[in-house]
A and B are shown apart, each in its own frame.
Chain A
Amino acid sequence: MDSAETTIRDRGLSYRQKAAALARLGEERIAPLHISRRTEELRSARVVCDLMEGPAPWRPRYILPDYEAYFRKGSEFLRIEAPRDLLGAVFALLSIYRQIPSITGYPVWLGDLDSLLEPFALPNESDGLAPEQDRILRMFMEQIDRDLPDSFCHADLGPRATRVGRAILRHQRGAARAVPNLSLRYDSELTEDSFAEEAASCALDCAKPSFANHRLFQADFDALGLGPYAIASCYNGLPVGGGSCTLVRLNLAAFASNARVSGMSPEDFISGPLAEAVASVLEYIQERVRFVMRESGFFESSFLAAEGIIDPSRFTAMFGLVGLAECVNALLAGRGARFGHDRAADELGMAILGEINRLVAAHRDPNLKASGGRYLLHAQVGIDSDSGVSPGCRIPIGEEPPLPQHLLRSAPFHGPFVAGTGDVFAFEPTARANPGQIVDAVKGFFALGGRYFSCYAADSDVIRVTGYLVKRSEVERLRHGEVVPNASTVLGKNAIDNLKVLDRAIRR
């Protein structure tokens, strides 16, 4: 049976999941990109990987619409007027979400929901939302979960507390759903402690929101001339009104099993195989960007572009990396130094990361205007088939040091990842009694340069796999052969099996 027939006959996929798989097969029949022999070799060795973007990138991988512009003007194409009240606002959002292309087929960014909707909020006596509005908001969040069953749909809150923000946290906490993924853009000077504690309590119950270091993200985006940012998909920091054409990753762990590399001195590795592989990734990203921007016709046919909801000059591209820990451990195998535990290993990790950052920062892509054609570094979370490859610069599961040491060691590795990185911590259920502890940990972590912090309680049904969320109960249903709506559940199940996600150290 060919793969189209296998897909069609599959008893475990929903209609939408089959349609997406069949569309992908169509796309795979052409190969319009010019890829060098060297890059092809590195791709087949899994050192370089385009993360299932397909051989003919016909739309940007991640799109972050300027919803504020949409709210100001409405859309001619969609025949939607600028909303005047909360019901109109959620109707406008639900009308556009499915029109936003992405790698997953679902929108990867749903907007800064609180600042978008707060202007329409009517207070009740106790300064919460009026009951009817609370109901509209609750149903809006429920519809997102039903209509966009994909764990990479991401919405943002903060940095300031709002009625809408508090109501969303309350609804999420009660409902425990995997969709949408949520980030709180946290700034100790702007975010009220009580709001941050509500967010921490919510995270313990349903693994979201994560905390994003707002001050750091905004400073980095300002320095690169990129303007407003948002957190999309897993934890991808990208320009609002733009996005990322592509994400290609460098798998540093793939070097670990390479005989040529494992006997090498770190210096020879950095100047040799590493530099070569970085050059290949840059070349490959540039070719994919060229196709999206110049040949695909995407922007010419998109009403989002025509109506100013996205702007081609706000699109960048992401250079991803995974498996730093495994790479360092392999290079230092003779000395027995382990990443996350020994200073020498952390220093080598930093040297490798620094060199990648230097090479990426020096490269300019003539087809991109955003940040002058400079790509953004991203700590990729891995793909479900990865085994023995830790996301980004994370310390491998099973080797995590105690929480304070873990935070101290991880923070410096977050710096270069302007387009996102993150660490995930599982807490004892008793942490619920003191959400302030988590806020204090976040404050310290961000003060030390940490960029993104996620947590959940070890007994919660919704858990964070690597960057996205799944419901454990849904994974169990999948294991029993049931069809589940959320395609990410399959990824989560494989990652749980391959990356030992359920074996994370439990923090007190």
Chain B
Amino acid sequence: MMGLVPGPEGAAVRGEVARILPFSAVDGPGNRGVVFLQGCDFGCGYCHNPETRMACALCGACIGACPESALSGGPGSRPAWDRSRCRDCGSCVAACSHGSSPKVRSMEAREALDELEPYRPFLRGITVSGGECLLQSDFLAELLEQGRARGLPGLVDTNGSRPLASLPRITSAAEGFMLDVKAWNEAEHIALTASSNSTVLQNLGFLARQGSLFEVRTVIVPGSFDLEETVRETSAVLAAARSMARYRLIRYRPWGVRPERAAALSEPDEDLMARLAALALAQGAASVLVS
């Protein structure tokens, strides 16, 4: 887990940015620029980008792993990353045993948005994702406020571990939220993510009632938690709040998951996905998307 790096007095807030993607079809409605922030407070077994979880431990192990000599420095300091040499081969991330990446950059919100600027004509907005973006809430607020000023309204993609009811700057600056409900039962949630879900479920109700919930997601991993209970209860909350949020049921797939973890997890079949989608609709979810 990591927080933002505080700047000197009066300086702009800086954030730890894992990656900026100029064009995405899968992070909200339309075409969106995505800013992934580094650091996450959950430890999900099926994490698809485990390199976004932790701060760099300054071990230097990745430096020698780079076939393009894009990394330099040594133990005790953050590796320097030469973007012009990087070919995105992923060797550095594979070599990192600390859940981090040498390609994380410390940036101001303005700098992150500047990178999306050439693509602005194609974008309906931005999505701030992670890692867990609420862990850098000041930087997130800056991104959302400045993005909106540039005509790029922002969606927040969150695991819901921080109470949004007490983050008014975020809720007023965001266009909407996408929230993960990983499991309904708390003990199962803890087994799955090493964290409680009580704040997540509070947020689910709060955002649904506020009308700012765009999407709720559950990754369907058979055998890892009570799938039916999770889908049923989550849908019931949406229905009770008359939320228009779409409920997205995501097939677990082993891509990007650490191999030692992936071996223990199974993929759902079509039948199961269809059954769960029908259950969500029957419980009153406004729309369901299986992906």
User: Which residue numbers of A lie inside 8 Å of B, CB to CB?
Assistant: 402-404, 407-408, 430-431, 433-434, 436-437, 439-441, 443-445, 447-448, 508
Contact = CB atoms under 8 A, between A and B. Distances in A.
Contact of A404 (B29, B119, B289): B119
A436 B30 contact: yes
B122 A404 contact: yes
Interface in B21-51: 22-23, 25-26, 29-31
A404 B23 contact: yes
A250 to B, nearest CB: 31
Given A436-B31, A441-B31, A430 B26 contact: yes
A440 B289 contact: no
A439 B30 contact: yes
Contacts of B119: 404, 408, 444
Nearest to B119: A404
A439 B122 CA distance: 9
A243 B83 CA distance: 51
Given A440-B31, A441-B31, A434 B122 contact: no
Contacts of B120: 444
Nearest to A508: B25
Contacts of A431: 25
Contacts of B30: 434, 436-437, 439-440
A434 B26 contact: yes
A436 B121 CA distance: 14
Contacts of A440: 30-31, 122-124
B235 to A, nearest CB: 20
Nearest to A197: B30
Contacts of B291: 430, 433
A80 B26 CA distance: 52
A445 B122 CA distance: 7
Contacts of A408: 118-119
Most B CB within 10 A of own CB, among A434, A439, A445, A508: A434
Contacts of B31: 436-437, 440-441, 444
A444 B291 CA distance: 27
B246 to A, nearest CB: 11
A434 B29 contact: yes
B122 A444 contact: yes
B123 A444 contact: yes
Nearest to B29: A436
A448 B31 CA distance: 16
7 contacts: A404-B23, A407-B122, A408-B119, A430-B26, A447-B121, A508-B25, A508-B26
A165 to B, nearest CB: 22
Most B CB within 10 A of own CB, among A436, A437, A444, A508: A437
Which 9 A/B pairs are nearest by Cβ-Cβ distance? A444-B122, A444-B121, A440-B31, A437-B25, A436-B30, A437-B31, A440-B30, A404-B23, A447-B121
Contacts of A433: 25-26, 289, 291
Contacts of A445: 121-122
A439 to B, nearest CB: 7
A433 B248 CA distance: 11
A407 B118 CA distance: 11
A409 to B, nearest CB: 11
A436 B32 CA distance: 10
Contacts of A448: 121
Contacts of A403: 23
A447 B122 CA distance: 9
Contacts of A407: 122
A5 to B, nearest CB: 55
A430 B121 CA distance: 23
A402 B289 CA distance: 27
Interface string B117-156: 0111111100000000000000000000000000000000
A443 B25 contact: no
Nearest to A404: B23
B217 to A, nearest CB: 13
A365 B31 CA distance: 46
A436 B122 CA distance: 11
Nearest to B125: A440
B25 A402 contact: no
Interface in B2-38: 22-23, 25-26, 29-31
Given A404-B122, A443-B121, 13 more contacts: A404-B23, A404-B118, A404-B119, A431-B25, A433-B25, A436-B30, A440-B30, A440-B31, A443-B122, A444-B120, A445-B121, A447-B121, A508-B26
Contacts of A441: 23, 31, 122
A207 to B, nearest CB: 18
Nearest to A442: B122
Contacts of B122: 404, 407, 440-441, 443-445
Nearest to B25: A437
B122 to A, nearest CB: 3
A403 B31 CA distance: 12
A404 B123 CA distance: 10
A508 B25 CA distance: 7
Nearest to A193: B30
A433 B30 CA distance: 10
A445 B29 CA distance: 18
Contacts of A436: 29-31, 124
Interface string B261-291: 0000000000000000000000000000101
A440 B124 CA distance: 7
B212 to A, nearest CB: 19
B216 to A, nearest CB: 16
Contacts of A447: 121
Contacts of B121: 443-445, 447-448
B70 to A, nearest CB: 19
A445 B120 CA distance: 11
